[in-house]
Structure 1
C-alpha cells in the first residue's frame, strides 16, 4: 500500500485512548450538584451553549439558545418530523397539510396551548410564517416562494404559491411556530408586509429587520413537552421541566431534560463519567475507544446522507478539467484509510460514487445499474495509466504536466474541523508519495463557505451529497451547483454545466437538476436522477472520499432504560429529524425504574 498509515498514523490520530482520573475530575464540580427535584426522572444531554451571548429570540434560530441543538424539538416542536426512509411525515403540532391547486393549507391540531397557558392557534401560525417569509433568503426553497398568506379559521392557514414543485412545503411543515404574544408587533406587521409584496432586501423589510434582530425577549414561551426552568439555568447546565400545557407534555416519560454545557471534548468526558445519556456532538477517535469501558455504553447510529471529499477549482488548475486527471487523483487515495483516521468509527466507505449517499443510490438505481458504475478504490496502476494517457510524464519520481511543468496542488482543510484537517493532510501525504507535489493548509473556520464560493483555492476538502435535503436532487444541487456560480465575483469550483457524457450525450446539468426537482411525475424525476448519477460517476466533478456515519454515544441503565433500535425513523438525519428526540417526545423512551 502506497500510503501506509495503518498503524503509525492511526495511533497518532487517535492519540491517548483513555481519560485520566484528573481529567475526568475536571467536570465533577459542575456535574455533581444538579439541583432540582432529586425524585424527578431525568434525560441528560450536552451542547455548547452560551447564556450570555445567545438570544431568546428563537425565531432567529441562528444564535438563539439551544436552537442549533437536537433538543430544540423538545421545547419548540416543529409541525412535523420527516421520515427519511418512508418519505412520509410524523406530524407533531400539525394535524396535516394538503394542496389545493397552488395553495398549501396547513392545519394545526386542536387544543394546543403555550407554556404560558394561551391558546396556540392560526394567529401564531400565520404570523410565524410571515416572519419567516421576510427572513428567508431568496435562493432557498419553500418560504421564499410564498406569494400571500390567509387565515382560514382558528386552526388553518393558506399559503399561496406560484408554480410549486413536489415537496416545496418541507420547510413550512418543519417550521417552528412562535408565540403571537411574544412576537405581537413583529408578527402582525409581517403579515401585512408579505401580503403587500414586501420581501427581503426591500426598504420596509430593512426597517422591520433592524428591530427584529435586536429583539431579545426575557423568556422563551414553549409549545413542546418541556420548557425552560429559569431557576435552573446556569453556565454549567440548563434544565427543561415538564410543560403540561405543551404538546405531549403529559405523555413524555421523563420529568426533566438536563442539557450540560460542553464542547466535543467536554461532552466526551461527561459521557465517560456517566453524566450524559446521549450526545450528538462529534467524539474523537480516542474518545470513541474510551467509551468502550463505560458501563451501559452503546452507539446510536444515525444514517449519513453526505460525506467528505475533494472539490476542484477547474479555473485555477486547468489540468483537472481533464476527467482522466480527476479520476487518477481519486485512484491514488485510500478512502477507507482516510475515513478511519479522520473519523474513527464514524465513517462509511463509498461504494457507488453516484454523487448520492449509497443508501439513496440504492433506492433510485437497481443493483444491475449500479454494477456498471466505476468504483474508485485505491489502484495506483490505474492512476498511472490515466495520467500517462492524459499526457503526463514522470521524471525523477515527480509527475510533470503535458507542458513539462511540475504538477502541484494546494489542498485546503478547515481549521478546527478535525475530520477536514485530517483528510487534507492525508490527501497531501498520498499525492506526494505518488509523485504529485502537494501541500495542505487549513483556512479559518469562521467563513470557509466564502472562500469556497469565491474560488480562493486550488483543491478543497468539501462535502458532497446533502444532509439538509431528503429529496435526491439536493445532492446534485450540492455537487454541481453549490459554490459554482461561475461569475467573476463568485467563480467557485468553475465546473462547466454543459457537459458531454460518454453514455448520455450532451447534458445540461442545471436543467437536469431542475427537472429532478420540479418534474410532475415520479418517472420523470427518477429518469433525471439516474442521468445525474451516471454523469457524476462518469465525469467525477468531485471526489467522494468517505461518507459520514453519525455515531452518537449513549449510556443505558443509569437514567434511560434503553434506546430505540431499528425503528421506522432510525434512518432519519441526526440534526434535522432526530429519531431519539422523536422517541422521547412520543413517550417511547423510558426512564430506568426506580
Structure 2
C-alpha cells in the first residue's frame, strides 16, 4: 500500500456489495480538512462505542455543524460561500483534479427550483440541462422551442403512504383493498403522460429489477393487485365494512372512512395524479379530502407522523435490493427517523406466518455478503411480506424527459444509448461532463 491506495478487506458474511457500492459512491474528503473528525471517530470505534452511545450522537452533531472555511475539491470545480445564492450557485474550474484537463467549461451554474420555476429558465436558455420531472404540456413546449428531450429512468416512483395509527389503515385488508381500487396505469398517465408506468409487481423493488434482485419462486407468488373494484369490495367486507346509502364504506358503528390526504403543492406533476387518486378512491367508497401544502411541510409532516394519507417516493436508483426496500418503509418509518419522529409508524417487529420477525433487520441483511442466490432469496422473502401486508402502495415508476438544449451544449449521445439506462443516481451527464464529451455547442 502507498499514500494513494486504500485497501478494503471483506469477510464472507459482511456487508459485501452494500459496502462496495458505498465505497464507490462516497466522495473523497481531504485529510487537511476532516482529519481531526476522522480521528475522533476512530477513537470511538477503538473504544467499542456504538451508535446508541451519546459519544456518537455528539460527534454526529459536531460533523453536521462543521463548516470549513475553504473547500478542497477533488473534482475539477470548486466554490466558496460567496458563490451560493438563493436561486443558484456557481462552480469555478480548479486545476488540481484528474479531470481538470478534460472538462470543457470554466464555470458552471447550478440552479435550484421545482418544475414551475425552472420551466421559463429552460425556455429562455438560462438552463441548458435539467433533471426536473416536467408534465406533458411543458415537454411539448420544449419540443416546440427546438429543445431536445432525453428520456431516462429516475429509479423511483410515487407511493401512497398511510399513517398506521390512523384507523382503518391499521387493518391489512383495507390497505389491500386500496391497492386493488386504484387504477395504477391511469394514475401513471396522470403523473407524467407516457413517461410513467403503473407498478406491476408491487414488490418494493423496481419492476425492471425484479428478475435480477428476487428469486424466481418469490416472483411467482407476488400478488400484482390488478385493478379490481369487486375484489377490493370483498376485502372491505371481510374487514367488517359495509356501504351506506351514499355508497360510502362504514364500519360496524356506522363510521365512514373520512381522512385527509396531504400532498406537495409545488410538484407540477402532482396535482393531476392526486385528484385522480382521490377521485377513484372516493368513487369506490372512501371519503378522502385532498389538501395541498408546501413540499417541505409535506415531508416534515410525514416524518412527524402528522398525516393520515400522503405521497412520497418509493424504491430508488440504487442497484441493491436493500436500498430499494429502504424507501419508504425505513426512510419514513420510526426505524429510520430521529428520536421522537414516528413517520408511518408501521410496526417492524411482528408475528408473521407463526414466526416473530424483525422486518427492519431483514431488509438491512438482504444485500449482505457476495452470494447472489442467497441475496435473491432474502430479497424475495422481504418482497413477499411487503406484497402481502401492503404497508404502502407503490403506485408507479417515473421516467423523465430531460431537456438538453443543443444550441448551448453538444455531446449527448443519440437516443437509445446504454448510458441513458442508468437512473438519476448515476446521471449520464456527470460522466460525459467530466470526460469532456459534453461541451459548449460549436466547440
Q: TM-score band (shorter)?
A: 0.7 to 0.9
Query: Out of 400, 404, 407, which is 2:250 matched to?
Result: 400
Q: 1: distance between equivalents of 2:55 and 2:231?
A: 58
2:352 pairs, out of 487, 490, 500, with 500
Cα deviation 1:471-515 (Å, max 9, x = unaligned): 1112223343343338994443333342535xx987542343243
User: Could you tell me whether the CA contact under 8 Å between 1:563 and 1:580 is conserved in 2?
Assistant: no
> Which residue of 354, 359, 363 maps to 2:208?
359
Structure 2 gap segments, 5+ residues each: none
Which has the larger Rg? 1
- Following superposition, the deviation at residue 207 of structure 1 comes to 8.6
Is contact 2:173-2:239 (8 Å) kept? yes
The answer to whether structure 1 residue 247 and structure 2 residue 98 are counterparts is yes
The structure richer in helix per residue is 2
Distance 1:205 1:495 in 2: 25
Query: What does 1:130-169 align with in structure 2 at a 5 Å threshold?
Result: 153-157=2-6, 164-166=14-16, 167-169=18-20
Which residue of structure 2 aligns with residue 304 of structure 1? 154
2:183 maps to 1:334 = yes
Q: Does 1:268 align with 2:122?
A: no
How far has the Cα of 1:223 moved from its partner?
A: 2.8
Please name the residue that 2:141 is paired with.
290
**Structure 1 residue 161 displacement after superposition:** 9.0
Q: 1:577 to 1:530 in 2, by over 3 A?
A: same
Do the aligned partners of 2:346 and 2:391 also contact (CA within 8 Å) in 1? yes
Match of 2:223 in 1: 374
Among 251, 275, 280, which residue is 2:131 paired with? 280
1:431 alignment counterpart: 281
User: Which fold has the larger relative contact order, with Cα–Cα distance below 8 Å and residues 6 or more apart in sequence?
Assistant: 2
Contact 1:288 1:344 in 2 (8 A): no
The alpha-carbon deviation at position 577 of structure 1 amounts to 2.1
Compute the displacement of 1:211 (Å).
9.4
Q: CA deviation at 1:154?
A: 1.9
1: distance between equivalents of 2:154 and 2:254?
Answer: 42
Residues 355 and 479, structure 1, Cα contact 8 Å, conserved in 2: no
CA distance in 1, matches of 2:329, 2:105: 47
CA distance in 2, matches of 1:222, 1:203: 29
Structure-2 change in CA distance of 1:257 and 1:506 (3 Å):
same
- Aligned to 2:140, the other structure's residue is in SS state helix
Find out whether 1:389 has 2:241 as its counterpart.
Answer: no
The alignment's C-alpha RMSD in Å is 3.8
Measured at CA, do residues 228 and 455 of structure 1 come closer, stay the same or move farther in structure 2, by a change above 3 Å? closer
Contact 1:235–1:261 (8 Å) recurs in 2: no
Task: Give the corresponding residue for 1:129.
Answer: none
Query: How many residue pairs align between the two structures?
Result: 431
TM-superposition CA deviations, 1:497-538 (whole Å, max 9, x none): 42535xx98754234324313355322211111112222222
| Alpha-carbon distance, 1:248 to partner | 2.2
- TM-score, structure 2 as length reference: 0.82
Give the 3 Å change call, closer, same or farther, for CA 232–204 of structure 1 in structure 2. closer
**Structure 1 equivalent of residue 260 of structure 2:** 410
Unaligned runs of 5+ in 1: 1-151
- 1:303: Cα distance to partner? 2.0
Q: For residues 229 and 557 of structure 1, do their structure 2 counterparts lie closer, same or farther at Cα, with a shift above 3 Å needed?
A: farther
Question: Cα distance, 1:464 vs. partner?
Answer: 2.0
Q: Could you give the per-residue CA deviations for residues 255-285 of structure 1, whole angstroms, max 9, x where no partner exists?
A: 4353264633343223223443311133344
CA deviation map 1:326-356 (0-9, x unaligned): 1221222122332333334542221111111
| Structure 1 Cα separation of the partners of residues 332 and 86 of structure 2 | 38
Is the contact made by 2:411 and 2:437 (CA closer than 8 Å) also made in structure 1? no
